[in-house]
Structures are given as structure tokens and as C-alpha cells.
Amino acid sequence: MDFRRNLIWYLFLAPAVIMLLMFMALPLIQSLELAFFEWNGLRPREYVALENFEDLFDDRFFWGALRHTLIFAAFSTIGTVGIGLMLAMAIARRVRGAALYRFIFYLPVMLPMAVTAALWVRMYEQNFGMLNVMLRSIGLAHLEGTWIASRETALASVIAVAVWQFSGFPMIILLAAIENIPEDLHEAASLDGISEPQRIWHLTLPLIRPVLISIGVLQFIFSLKVFDLVWVMTLGGPAESTSVLGTFLYKEAFRKQEYGYASAVAVVMFIVIFTVTYVYQRLMRVESVEF
Amino acid sequence: MHPERNIIPAAAKRLPGAAVTLLLICWTIVQVYPILFMFITSVKTDKQILNAPFALPDPLKLENYAIVWQGDRVAQPFSTFFINSFTITLGSLVILLFVAGLAGYALARGRFPGNSATQQGFLLTLAVPVHVLIIPMYFFTGQLGLRNSHIGMMLIYATLGLPFTIILMRAYFLSFPRELEEAALLDGCSRFGAFIRVVVPVSRGAIASMAIINISWIWSELFYALVLLDQPQVRTLPLAIAGYRPVSMAAESVIGQQFAIMSLTALPLFVFYFLFQQQIRKGMTAGALR
């Protein structure tokens, strides 16, 4: 009887559960399994135990990709959250045109990443690209660079594009947090004769700290999954200098047909990102700020 | 409300307003210029693009759009990619919203064994980085005939959007007044009937916000499309852009066309943002702080 009464709820849940099992849980388990095999997709796969992981940890291109991913995530997080915070604080001062600034600074976030990347490939181009042309025309020709075309500057150039595109995202969140601070607190501080830098340091920043940490972690997790920007701008090159876990996984699997090896990469990626995300979710639930 | 506010902050205690304004204006230029550059370049001739990159288009040339739309140097006309992207985005959204709506409603209303376990399960799927699923996905979509298939992409995108959307839907239905459905149930409606006829129409606003939150990532998705759509006639817009990679600008005579493709891909999202800015930004805030 109880089951029959509840049956309708199970039916309501069934499509979601089936889809998630089929397109998420099942591939996840298969990825984990495949990491212990050598397989080129054609011949029968061969069980190799931990060999893929041993090879992976000896593979300097894997370590390179991991290092680039962490550098990309760290610097694009610092860049977007740093700039986003400055913009949010500037706009929160009720500057004239605040609504317009807020509209404009979020605009690049709406761009498909493939478009952003293709656009910046053009901006970075050496001879006719906007960046070098501009530097030349204002007499700073000595600063001209090869940007994404040389190993030394490619990763930094890609990070700059990520910062350009996504600063508006933390800005919106932080602006909402700042505007949530009750007006009375600001007034009390002003009445006490506290200067604005002091007020920012002692009042605004501590109050928005939970949100600041939250958006920082979120941006970091998001950046660990970088693929589109790197793929469209550089394909991981030149000389693998912008290779990240996502592009490394793609190339091992779909360029070299090393499906077992690529699955080992996927497992490492899963462990790193899943752990960070899961811990973040747990922490966020208990942390909240009350006024 | 607080008139004192305008009197108290004395000029000496505030950072110079001019510096703040300068910062805002500089960043506005940095953000807007590349986007304007994209649209302006898309209506220039290639000769003008190379010789006068800063100049305004002279003459304004819409030919780039006409060429890419009908397909010239690209193997497939752009209109194909546009229709593919449109179909996949729309289909994914319909499946996603229907499935997530049902599930969110069941989690919010049903008192059945396994409710909280199911919620925990959905939370777990939220933390799965979707890139790691791609290899098995590639093979079994091949076996099921879902590779190079719009239906396949719709099912996959809908699934990837589920964890997040179900959780938001559940939160919404928790605050949904029970009285409405109870009246329908007393009138002899089934649970499903009450859901479709009473709950869904009243929840139009919430369902629209869920659509708004999901549209832009589906429209822009590259990774799955790159792996699962290898036939030119089924490809989406981001793939068309990613495939257009010239070595040097000088060696290439289709720059204007590439910019036209990029502009046409970005434009629907810009229009959409212009219409729904409030909801989009609110959705972002809610989503990020979940």
C-alpha cells in the first residue's frame, strides 16, 4: 500500500535517475575501468593493471599539463576575482551610470568561449593583430610580442583572455554581497570618522569574506576544467606550452587513440576536481553570514 | 530613506572619485573594444581589415554575412550550423526542464523512502567534472546510434544540466503553495495531471529562469560537440568557429567571413542578455552561491 502510494513519486524521479545513470554514472564507472586496460579502440583491450598510471607519472607532458592547469586556474582566479572585486567596490559607490557599467562588464561573460578565443587569436596575431598594431601606433613597438605564438608568453596570454572574459562574473556576485551590507553599518562607520580605505579594510572586506572565498573557489574549480579557450587559441601549443589536462586528455584519446592511457588521465582529473568541488559544497552549506 | 548618507561622507574621507571613474572607463574600453572590433570587422572587406584595422567600415559590406550564411568556402553553409545549434539547444532545454521539473517536484513534495538519499545522489553528480566521461560516452553513443545525432546531443546536454537544475527546481517547489494542487487533487486530478495542469502553468516564471540559466552554456558547448559530432552536416556553431583556424592573417582572405560567423554566434546570446539581464544575473548569483 505504502509503495503503491509512493509509486507516483518514483515515476516522477525515474527519467532523471535513468538519464543520470546512463549518461553520467555508467560512463564514470567505465572510465575508471578502462584506465586499467590498454586499448586502441579496435583490437580487443588488454588488461595492464596499473601500468597506465605508472606511465602517466613518468610522462613529463602529463606533469606539464597538470602544472599548466594549476597555473591557469590560480592566475585566472586571482585575476578575475581581483578585478571583479575592484569593479564591484567601484560600482557600489553609486557612481553615475552604475547600471550601465554592470551591464557592460557582464557582456563578455555571455560570449561563447569559442568566439572569445577565435577573436583573441586575431587580436594576438603578430603582424596585423590589433594588440601589436596598437602598440606600434602609440610608439611602444618595443613591447610588441608574439603572444600565443611563442612558448614563453603563450600561457600568460591565454590566462589574460580568461581574465578579460570572466571578471564580470565575480563582479556580479561581489556587488550583490556588498549591496547586502546594511546601510546602517556604513553610516555608523562614516559617523565615526573612518576613512574609506579603512572602511573597506575593516568593514566591507570582512563582511563579504565568505562570498569572496566562495566565488574564488568556484572560479578555481571552473578554471581547472579549462578546454575551449586553450583548444581554439593554441591547441595546447606551441611545443605543448599551453597544454592543460582537458586538451591532454582529448589528444591522448582522440588523436593518438590511447583510450586506456587517456582514461587514466580522466581518473586523475576526476579525483582532483571532484574532491575540490565536493569539499567546497560541504563547506558552503554550513557557512553563511548573518547580520 | 536615510538623508544623512549624503551629508556625512566628507570629500577628504573618500577615495578621489576621479580615480574610480577613470578605472571604470578604462575597463569599459578594454571590455567593449574587442567586441565592437568583432562586429565592425565583420562588415569590412578583407583589404580594409588589413590596411585600415582601426577604421570604420567603408563601404559597409554585409556580403560576408550573405556568403557565410549560404556557404561558400566553408563546406557547409553557416545556416546549417545555426539551425543545428538552435535545434540542439531547444531540444535539450525541453527535455532538461521537463525531467528536472518532475524530479524537483517529487523531491520537494514526496515523503517516500529514499528521498534524501536521492538528493544526496544528485548533489554528488553536481561535483562530477563532465570531461572525464567523454571516452566511454564516445563509444556507447556510437553503439546506440547517438553519435552524430541531434537527439543524442539533446539527451547528453539535458543530463549534464540536470543536477544543477533539479536542485534549484526543488528549492523553488518547496516554497510553492500546496493549496493549489490539493484543490486539483480533490477535484479528481491525478498527481501527474495536477502537476501538468496546475503546477506547471503557475510556475512559468521559475521554469523560464531555469531555461535562461541553461541556454548560454548549451549554445556555447564545445567539448562534447567536438568529440561526438564529426560529420559536417550535424555540427554546431562553436565547432564551426573552432574549425576556422588560419595560420596567418595575411595568408588568409576570409577574415571578414570568420568575423561574420563569430558575430552571428554571439549575437543571439547578446540579444538574449539584453532582454533578460536581471534574470540572468540573478540566476548567476543564486547558482554560484548554492
A44 within domain boundaries: no
B65 or A22: which leads in pLDDT: A22
Q: How far is A273 from chain B (nearest CA, A)?
A: 7
Radius of gyration of chain B (CA): 24
Residue A290 has pLDDT above 70, yes or no: no
Is residue A53 assigned to a domain?
no
Residue of A21, A23, A247, A254 for testing the chain B interface, max B β-carbons within 10 Å: A23
Q: Which domain holds residue A209?
A: 60-286
C-alpha cell at A289: 553570514
Average pLDDT over chain A reads 89
- In this complex, the residue of A8, A24, A164 whose CB is nearest that of residue B191 is A8
Q: Which residue from A113, A186, A245 is facing B220, i.e. has the nearest CB?
A: A113
In chain B, which among 93-112 make CB contacts under 8 A with chain A?
Answer: 98-100, 102-103, 105-107, 109-110, 112
Most confident of B48-62, B63-77, B83-97: B83-97
CATH number reported for the structural domain that contains residue A167 in this entry: 1.10.3720.10
Cell numbers at B114, concatenated: 529514499
Domain boundaries, chain B: 15-65, 76-243
Q: Is residue B18 exposed (0-12), middle (13-18) or buried (19+ Cβ within 10 Å)?
A: exposed
Determine, for residues B131 and A249 on separate chains, whether the beta-carbon distance falls below 8 Å: yes
* Distance in angstroms (rounded) separating the CA atoms of residues A58 and A55: 5
Mean confidence (pLDDT) of chain B: 84
A275-284: pLDDT as tens digits: 998 888 887 7
Strand partners, A87: none
pLDDT at B14: 56
Classify residue A61 as exposed, middle or buried by CB count within 10 Å of its CB (0-12, 13-18, 19+). Answer: middle
| Cβ contact, residue pair B136, A30, below 8 Å | yes
> What is the structure's pLDDT at B285?
65
How distant is the Cα of B71 from the closest Cα of chain A, in angstroms? 19
Note whether B189 and B197 are within 8 A (CB): yes
Going by CATH, does the domain composed of B76-243 fall within 1.10.3720.10? yes
Give the CA dihedral A92, A96, A102, A103, nearest 10 degrees: 160
A236 in a domain, yes or no? yes
Average pLDDT for A248-271? 94
Characterize B174-213 residue by residue with b for buried, 16 or more Cβ atoms within 10 angstroms of its Cβ, and e for exposed: eebeeeebeebeeeebebeebbeebbbeebeebbebbbbb
Interface residue of A106, A128, A215 to substitute, partner B, most B CBs within 10 Å: A128
User: Which amino acid is residue B133, in one-letter code?
Assistant: L
B223 to A228: CB separation less than 8 angstroms, yes or no: yes
The ipTM of this complex is 0.90
- Chain segment B185-215, per-residue pLDDT in tens: 888 888 888 898 889 998 888 898 889 889 9
- The structural domain count of chain A equals 1
* Position B268 pLDDT exceeds 60: yes
Cell numbers describing residue A258:
590511447
Q: Which amino acid is at A227?
A: F
> Is residue B235 exposed (0-12), middle (13-18) or buried (19+ Cβ within 10 Å)?
buried
Does A41 fall in a domain? no
A17 is a domain residue = no
The answer to whether residue A133 is domain-embedded is: yes
Taking residues A216-236, what's their average pLDDT?
93
- Per-residue pLDDT tens digits for A166-206: 999 999 999 988 988 887 777 777 777 777 778 888 888 88
- Nearest CA distance, B201 vs chain A (angstrom): 18
Tell me, yes or no, if B137 comes closer than 8 A to chain A by beta carbon.
yes
Whole-number pLDDT of residue B287: 57
Q: Please indicate, yes or no, if residue A37 is contained in any of the structural domains.
A: no
**Could you tell me the three cell numbers for B87?**
535545434
Q: What is the pLDDT of residues A99-135, one digit of tens each?
A: 899 999 999 999 999 999 999 998 898 877 888 888 8
Residues 208-267 of chain B with CB under 8 A from chain A are: 216, 219-220, 222-223, 226-227, 237-239, 241-242, 244-245, 248-250, 255, 258-259, 262, 265-266
Residue B166, pLDDT score: 93
Residue A144 lies in a domain: yes
pLDDT band at B5 (very low <50, low <70, confident <90, very high): very low
Q: Do B118 and A17 touch (CB under 8 A)?
A: yes
Where b means 16+ CB within 10 Å and e means fewer, A155-182 reads bebbbbbbbbbbbbbbbbbbbbbbeebe
Distance from CA of A289 to the nearest CA of B (A): 12
